[in-house]
Structure 1
Amino acid sequence: MRRLAIDVRPGEYAVARLAPDAPVPANLLDPGEPVLISITRTPEELSVICPAGLAPAGATVEEGWRLLSVRGPLAFTLTGIIAALSSELAAAGVALFSISTFDTDHVLVRAPELERAVKALRESGHEVTV
C-alpha cells in the first residue's frame, strides 16, 4: 500500500438513521461551513453522517465519531485504500465506519479511539495531520 496523507477533521460527527420515507432534513443541504455531510437513502433507511450538532431531530443517533479524510482526489483506478486502512485500524483494535466520495475516502472512528487510530496509521507509514 502506498503512503497516504490523512487529515483528522475538527469536531465530532454523528451517524444517524431515519425512516426510509423520511424527508431529507433541509438544513443539511444548505451551503455553509466546509464539513462532510453524507446522505444515503436505501429501501430500509435514510442514513445521515454529519457534524454532531446537525444530527436530525427524531433520528436514531450514534454520536462521538471523529472524521479522518484521505487527501485526494484519488483516481478511481486505485485499489485497496479502504482495505488497507481498515486492516491497519483493525490490527490496533479500532472499529471504523467508512464513506467514499467522488474525490476520496473517509473513515470515522470513535472519539476515544482517535489517538490509537492516529498512532496505528502513522506506524503503518501514513502521514496523519491532526
Structure 2
Amino acid sequence: MPALTLHLLESPYAVCRLPAGAAAPSPQPGSFSLLIQAVEETTLVCPLDQAPSHAEIDSGWRCFRILQVFDFSTAGILASVLAPLARSGIGIFASSTFSTDYVLVKASDLDGAVEALTAAGHTVTA
C-alpha cells in the first residue's frame, strides 16, 4: 500500500444527528463538511462552531484529509490509514469524496493516531 500524506485540518469537528428529513444548515465555505440524508436520520459532520444547536452533537473530533488523489480502481487507500489506527485501538469516522478521503479521530486519540500513521509510513502535516 502506498505511503500517504495526511493533512490535519485546523478546526475541531462535530458529528451531529438530526431527525430524518431534517434540514441541515449550509456549511460555511472553506471547510470540510458532510451531509448524509438517510431513512433513519440526517447526519452532519462539520466544524464544531458550525454545529446546529438543535442537533444531538458528538464533539471533540479532529479531521485528517488524504492529500493524494487516486483513481476509483486503486484498492487499499483507506485501508492503509484505517488498519494502523485499528491496531492502535483508535476509533474513526471515515468519509470519502469524489477526489479523496477524510478520517476523523477523537481529539483525545490524536497523538496516538499521528504516531500510528507515521509508524505505518505515512506523513502527517498540520
Q: Report the counterpart of residue 61 of structure 2 in structure 1.
A: 65
Q: Stretches of 4+ moved more than 6 A in 1?
A: none
**Cα deviations by residue, 1:19-40 (Å, 9 ceiling, x for unpaired):** 0121122x42x5x3x1101001
Instruction: Report the TM-score when normalising by structure 1.
Output: 0.92
Do residues 99 (structure 1) and 95 (structure 2) align?
Answer: yes
RMSD of aligned Cα (Å) = 1.1
In structure 2, stretches of 5+ residues that fail to align are none
SS in 1 for 2:46: strand
**Cα deviations by residue, 1:90-115 (Å, 9 ceiling, x for unpaired):** 11111111000011001000001111
In structure 1, stretches of 5+ residues that fail to align are none
Q: Report the counterpart of residue 45 of structure 2 in structure 1.
A: 49
Q: Report the counterpart of residue 85 of structure 1 in structure 2.
A: 81
Q: Offset of 1:82 from its aligned partner?
A: 1.8
**1:111-122 paired onto structure 2 within 5 Å:** 111-122=107-118
User: Aligned AA for 1:55?
Assistant: A
User: Aligned AA for 1:95?
Assistant: G
Q: Offset of 1:72 from its aligned partner?
A: 2.9
| Identity over aligned pairs, percent | 36
Instruction: Report the TM-score when normalising by structure 2.
Output: 0.95
Q: Which piece of structure 1 moves more, 80-89 or 10-19?
A: 80-89
Count of matched residue positions in the alignment of Structure 1 and Structure 2: 126
Q: Offset of 1:73 from its aligned partner?
A: 2.1
Distance, in Å, in 2 between the alignment partners of 1:95 and 1:14 is 15
